[in-house]
Amino acid sequence: MFTQKIYVNNKPLILTNNARAYVETHTIASGYMLFTGAFTRNFRLAFQHLEKPGTLGAIIEDISSHSLQHELYQLYTPVDAGGGVVINEDGAVLMIYRRGKWDLPKGKRDDGEDIAECALREVSEETGLQKLKLEDKICDTYHVYAQNGQSLLKCTTWYKMKGTTKDTLMPQKEENIEEAKWISQQQLGTVAFKAYEAIREVLHSAGYKW
């Protein structure tokens, strides 16, 4: 079964070739608005729905996964990014505070740059950590946003990383990062509640529960 989740206004848009099967395995999706067919009109209606307050999510179903992705990329220009869930020697997770939300360090890939190298570079730049060790890939997340009149679809590839408290944390002010902080596993649930839905999804995919 094909499924792609894209965050719009911090809410999920599900692209799938089997909406019934998706709803059966994700109970909350029974409250999502369903659109049938990979048509431009359906994408625009779904995005409008997700911008309204109080809506839960939307599903666009089409038998062809290729058609769903083709239409998405017609509307939104893809941008690649890399980020990390950094764990220190005490098992704490590194998080950053930016624009009123707790977040994980991440950033756009430079031309010709490997995505794993991008993830390491961006985490280092945003937090000041120098002694980083790349580990396994966690997952990919997708979200749409507008910038300089462009409609963009950011695909972020997330990796587990090892870091150390021996490094000095230096939040990158140019990226509006107010704080970089090690969060203990006991505190993680409380802090994650003040993060974007996609960030909670990444933490869950990395094995953290609360």
pLDDT at residue 130 is higher than 90: yes
pLDDT-derived band at 148 (thresholds 50, 70, 90) equals confident
CA distance 42 to 13: 12
The interaxial angle of helices 40-51 and 65-75, nearest 10 deg, is 70
pLDDT-derived band at 123 (thresholds 50, 70, 90) equals very high
Q: Which CATH class is domain 80-205?
A: alpha beta
pLDDT tens, position by position, 69-80: 999 999 999 999
Mean local confidence (pLDDT), 165-190: 96
The predicted pLDDT at position 210 comes to 87
Torsion of CA 137, 91, 120, 15, to 10 degrees: 40
> In Å, how far are 15, 43, 62, 72, 75 from 65, measured between CA atoms?
8, 14, 7, 11, 16
CA distance 42 to 115: 32
% of the chain surpassing 90 pLDDT: 97
CATH 3.90.79.10 positions along the chain are 80-205
